[in-house]
Amino acid sequence: MTNKRAGFATRMGAIAASVGSAVGLGNIWRFPYEAGQNGGGAFILVYILCVLALGIPVMLSEFVIGRSTHKSMLGALRQLNPGGKARWFTAVCIIGSVVTLSFYSVVCGWVCEYLYLALSGQLSGHTAEQYGEIFSSFTASPWRCVGWTVLFLIVNYAVMLRGVQRGIERLSRVLMPLLFVLLVVFCINSLLMPKCREGLAFMFSVDFSHFTFRGAVDALGQAFMSLSLGIACLITYSSYFNDNTSLIHDAGVIALLDTLVALLAGVVIFPAVFSYGFQPEAGPKLVFEVLPAIFQQMPGGAVWCVLFFVLLLFASLTSTISLSEISLTHLIEEHSMSRRGATLCSGTVVTVLAVVCALSFNVLGDVKAFGMNIFDLLNYASSNFFMLLGGIFTAVFVGWFANRALVREQLTIGASPLARALVPCVLFCMRYVAPVAIVLIFLHYVGLI
C-alpha cells in the first residue's frame, strides 16, 4: 500500500515538536540530580560546553540526514550512501530507541502514580523517611508498576495514532508552552524561599577542585540524553521539516530552549533542597522522595506537588512520542504498514520490554547482568552505548562520507549571515571534535581508559 509522506504543517509546530523531543524527564528528573552529584556549577558549565561543541553539531548531522531526504533513517542512508553499508546502522538506532522507550516508560509510570497520589491527597502529612518507604512500597508492587507503565504507553500510542500533524504537532504546540509557564511559576516560588541564595550559589558557582573526569563524562551523557541524540529521533523529525528553514537557526533554538528548561529545573529544585535541609546529591530519588517531603513543608504544598507532577507528565509525553515515531516511520515506509498497524506492532514490542523493566524492581529483582537489574542495564545501555555510538556515526557519516556540497547546502539554506559564518566551525566540530570526544568517553565507559 502507498502512504502519503507526513510533514509538519508549520515551522512553529516543527520547532515545538523537536523541543518536545529534547525536553523531557532528562531535563527535569535527571539533570538536577546529575548536577547535584557532580558539584553543581562546574558540572553545569561543562554540560553547556558539551551542548555547544558536541550536542549542536551532532544534532545538525541528524538534521542534514533527515531534511535532505525526507525519509526514515533506512531510506535516508540508502539514498545518501547508495550501495554502501551505512544503512545497516539503522538497526542500532531503532534498537536504541526501543530500549530507551522501554525503561523511560517505567519512569513515566512512576510520574503517573505520583500524580495520582498527589491528587488523592496521599502524599500529605508524611515524614522524609516515610516518603522513601512510599516509593519503595510502590516499586515493590508489580501490579502498580506495570499498570501505570502500560496506561502511560496507551496514552502515548493514542497520540501516535493521530499522526504527525493532528497528533504529534498539535500536542507539542499545546504542552510545550504550558510546560514553560509551569516552570516559570515554580521558579518564582523557589526564588522566594529562605535559602534561595545558597541554592543558586551551589548551582552557579564554578569550583573544579572536586570535579572529576567522571563528572565530564556524565555531562556529555546528560547532553546526549537531554537533546535526544544518537537514536534517530531528530533524523525522523527533521524528515518532516520544510525545505526552506535554517537548520542552524532551528538547532540553536532547540538547544537553547532545552538547556533553559534544564537550568530552570535546577532553579526550581536547588533553593528548595537547601531551604528545607536536604542534600543536593540525593540522586535519582530526588524527585520521588525528596521533593514530596519539601512540598509538604511549603505553604500550599499539596497544590505545588500536583502541579509539579503535571509538569513531569507533560515532559514525559513530549519525549516518548518522539521516541515512538522512529520505529513507526520505519515500519510505515520500509514495510508498507498502515499507521495503525505500525503502532500496534511497535507498541506491542515496547510494552513487553517496558513490563519486564517494571518487574525488575520486584518479581524479576534477582535477575542481574553486570551487577545491574534489567531497568538499570537498559538505562546504562541507552545513554552509554546506543546514544554515544549513534552520535559518533551521524557526525562521522555527515562530516566525512556524505556529499560535501549537499551538507553545505543543507546548512546554508535559509541561513542568516551569522549562521553562514558558523558553518566552517560546525563542520570542524562534526569531523573532529565530536567523534574524538565521544570515542574517548565511550572508551572510559567500557573501562579501557
Higher per-residue confidence, 146 vs 86: 146
pLDDT band at residue 437 under the 50/70/90 scheme: confident
pLDDT band at residue 173 under the 50/70/90 scheme: confident
CA distance 428 to 383: 24
The distance from CA 295 to its chain's CA centroid, rounded to whole angstroms, is 25
Q: Give the residue from 439, 431, 361 showing the smallest Cα distance to 396.
A: 431
Higher per-residue confidence, 12 vs 350: 350
* Total-model pTM: 0.86
* pLDDT attached to residue 3: 46
User: Mean per-residue pLDDT for 386-409?
Assistant: 89
Higher per-residue confidence, 15 vs 316: 316
Query: Which residue range forms the structural domain that includes residue 148?
Result: 11-445
How many Cβ atoms sit within 10 Å of the Cβ of residue 443? 11
Tell me if 178 is assigned to some domain.
yes
- The yes-or-no verdict on residue 1 having pLDDT over 50 is no
Q: Give the CATH number of the domain where residue 128 resides.
A: 1.20.1740
Tell me if 1 is assigned to some domain.
no
Q: How large a percentage of the chain has pLDDT more than 70?
A: 90
Tell me if 345 is assigned to some domain.
yes
User: Mean per-residue pLDDT for 435-448?
Assistant: 77
Let me know if 322 is exposed, middle or buried by CB neighbors in 10 A (0-12, 13-18, 19+): buried
- The yes-or-no verdict on residue 152 having pLDDT over 90 is yes
CA distance 443 to 242: 38
Tell me if 5 is assigned to some domain.
no
Tell me the DSSP string of 327-362: HHHHHHHHS---HHHHHHHHHHHHHHHHHHHHHTTT
- Residue 62 cell numbers, joined: 541528524
- The yes-or-no verdict on residue 144 having pLDDT over 80 is yes
Report the domain count for the chain. 1
Helix/strand/coil percentages in the chain, nearest 5: 75, 0, 20
Q: Give the residue from 10, 44, 57 showing the smallest Cα distance to 260.
A: 44
- The yes-or-no verdict on residue 5 having pLDDT over 60 is no
* pLDDT attached to residue 285: 66
Tell me if 4 is assigned to some domain.
no
Tell me the DSSP string of 78-143: HHHSTTSSGGGGHHHHHHHHHHHHHHHHHHHHHHHHHHHHHHTTTTSS--HHHHHHHHHHHHT-HH
Tell me if 3 is assigned to some domain.
no
Higher per-residue confidence, 426 vs 6: 426
Tell me if 156 is assigned to some domain.
yes
pLDDT band at residue 164 under the 50/70/90 scheme: low
* pLDDT attached to residue 30: 75
Q: How large a percentage of the chain has pLDDT more than 90?
A: 27
User: Mean per-residue pLDDT for 79-100?
Assistant: 87
Tell me if 6 is assigned to some domain.
no
Q: How far is CA 342 from CA 27, 95, 202, 337, 345, in A?
A: 29, 15, 47, 6, 5
- The yes-or-no verdict on residue 156 having pLDDT over 50 is yes
Task: Render pLDDT for 227-257 as a digit per residue (tens, 0 to 9).
Answer: 878 888 889 888 888 888 899 998 998 899 8
> Average pLDDT, whole number, for the chain?
84
